[in-house]
Every structure is written in structure tokens, then in C-alpha cells.
Structure 1
Amino acid sequence: MTQVSNNSTVKSVLFVCMGNICRSPTADAVFRQKAREQGVDIDVDSAGTIAFHQGEMPDKRSREVGEARGYDFSDIRARKVVKEDFENFDLIVAMDQDNLQELQHQCPKEFQHKIKLFLTYAKDRAEICVPDPYYGGSHGFEHVLNLVEDASEGLLREIRIKG
């Protein structure tokens, strides 16, 4: 299991994918609810490495799949990662290798330790990246949600241990 963030207590998490309309808002909604259910007080947000969908709600397919399992997307809007995020968040979690590399490129050296790959926290997955479901069918969104639920549980477990 990967260290959460430089052995420090995590009070805020930022989930990041490319456009912030599929994977990272799903992680935002799932992690926020699971943390609340487990009594973990933590700030949760999501962002994208590009600003193409700035201000938009998460993709309808992500919302439909997530809402069918009881997750709330109502207050999530797409935004781009900004310089202040690297300082303000204790943990910055990338959905895939491309976004991980983009975050590492943008991030000041003193905050590099905060950037992690999300599926390193998953318990039962052979995959290392959450695949982008945008151009696929509804099965892809279900698969993403399954991966996100698993990794969210693992991350919360680690946060509770370190907290």
C-alpha cells in the first residue's frame, strides 16, 4: 500500500482526471459519501488537467450510474487544477498515468509528495489506472464506479490508520 502523503494527516483530497466530467467527479461523489458514512471529516474536491468542460456538471452517464447506487453529484462542477491546489490539498489523486505525469509537471517540487495514483489504494484490482469511459458504452461507467468504490475504501482505510 502506498503512503497517503508524507506520513502526515490527510484532511483534504483532490481527485484529478483530464476533463473533470467522468472519473474524478465520480471519485469525488463516492469518496465524499463513504467518508461521511465512516465518520471521516475530510474536504473533498475534483478537478481536471484541462479546462475544456469548465463549469459543467459531470457527464450524464456518470451521474446516472452513480446516482443508481445512491451517490450525489448535485454540487460538483468541472474545473481545472490551479496552482493553489498543490499547496491547499493534502493529497492529490490522479486517475491515470497521463494525468499523474501532467500533475507532476505542473506541481512545485515541495509538493510532489502529495501526488498519488488512485488505484494504488484499490484492494482487488489488477489495473493501475482508472480507464476513461467517455467514448465507450454504459458498461465502462459501471466499471469505473466499481474501481472508484474499491480504491475509495482503501484510501479511507489508510487515512483512518494514519489519522
Structure 2
Amino acid sequence: MAEPISVLFVCLGNICRSPMAEGVFRSLAASDPRVGKIDSSGTGAYHTLEPPDSRTMATLRKKGITDYDHGARQVEETDFREFDYIFAMDRHNLRDLERMKRRVEKSGSCKAQVMLYGHFSGTGKEEEVVDPYYGANKGFDTVYEQVNRFSTNFLKEVVNKDQPKVSS
């Protein structure tokens, strides 16, 4: 069996979108032996060690994810060596991550594939996850819907792509 796939979710401050993606993905992949390390971080250090936004946590609880715990952190150069996939929530985060990846590649090895998480939208078009921080609670429901869909598609298209289909 191949090494388990490791995944890092990244947004700006690591209190809304990326922890939502991490919580949802952890829940969906909980019993999948093909998934290893899962984490989230931010491109900025604005909220280091703070818990996720209360609206993020309320949305996760509303969807039955009650065991998620996280302290915000900033993405580090070592993440590019430790994770197989680093998923940006929007194109601004993606540009920041691609810039960091180029620096890491100059100083040594880098195994991470850096991409927009919305690549797994299932619509044929890449989607951005819009930051809900300054908006109403409905924005957090939208983020949940997106990251749940992206997570499901990533698991199906990448993690479990070579698994035999189970017939009923």
C-alpha cells in the first residue's frame, strides 16, 4: 500500500475557510487508511494560536462535526516538504503559496502540489472559496457546501481513484 496522502488547507488567517475545510475533510476521511496527516494554516499570522471563528465552529456543529479543535498557525516552509497537497482557498492565497513554493524549491526538496481547492469543484471550472469573515452567517453555510463538495470530489478523484467499485 502506498504512503497515505497528506493534505494542508490554506486561507488568509486560518480561522474561517481553511479550518472549515480541515474539519470537513477530517470527518469525511476519518476511516480512510489512504489519508494521513491533515492540517490547516494561513498565509498571514494575524490569528496565531486563536481558535476558529465562532461561526465556523457553529456551522461545523450544525453539520454534525463536533470533535474539531484547532489553533491558527501560519504556513511554514517545512509544510512544502511534509504535505502532498496544499490547497489554497482563493487565487490570492494561491499566488502567495506559489511564491513560497518557489523559494522552498531553490533551497531543496519540495513534494507538495499547490493548487486551488476549487479545482475539485465538480463543475468543470475552478471555484474560489470567498472569505465569509465580514459577511453574514449564510457565507459560512456557503463555505461548508463548497468544501464538502471539494472534499468529496478530491477523495473520489485522487485518494480513492484506484479503488475497486463496490456493487450492492
Q: Structure 1 length normalisation: TM-score?
A: 0.87
Give, in whole Å, the separation in 2 of the partners of 1:74 and 1:160. 24
By percentage of residues, which structure has more helix? Answer: 1
Give, in whole Å, the separation in 1 of the partners of 2:84 and 2:111. 11
Give, in whole Å, the separation in 2 of the partners of 1:159 and 1:101. 25
Identical residues among aligned pairs (%): 37
Q: Specify the SS of the correspondent of 1:92.
A: strand
Q: Specify the SS of the correspondent of 1:51.
A: coil
User: Are 2:51 and 1:57 equivalent residues in the alignment?
Assistant: yes
1:25-65 CA distances to partner (integer Å, 9 max, x unpaired)? 00000001100155543210000000110000000001101
Structure ID, larger Rg: 2
Partner of 1:26: 20
Q: Structure 2 length normalisation: TM-score?
A: 0.84
Q: CA RMSD in A?
A: 2.1
Question: Any conservation in 2 of the 1:29–1:72 contact (CA below 8 Å)?
Answer: no
Shift of 1:162: 5.4
User: Are 2:97 and 1:98 equivalent residues in the alignment?
Assistant: no
User: Are 2:10 and 1:16 equivalent residues in the alignment?
Assistant: yes
Give, in whole Å, the separation in 2 of the partners of 1:162 and 1:18. 33
- Which residues of structure 1 form unaligned runs of 5+? 1-7
Q: Specify the SS of the correspondent of 1:42.
A: strand
Question: How many residues are paired up?
Answer: 156
- Which residues of structure 2 form unaligned runs of 5+? 164-168
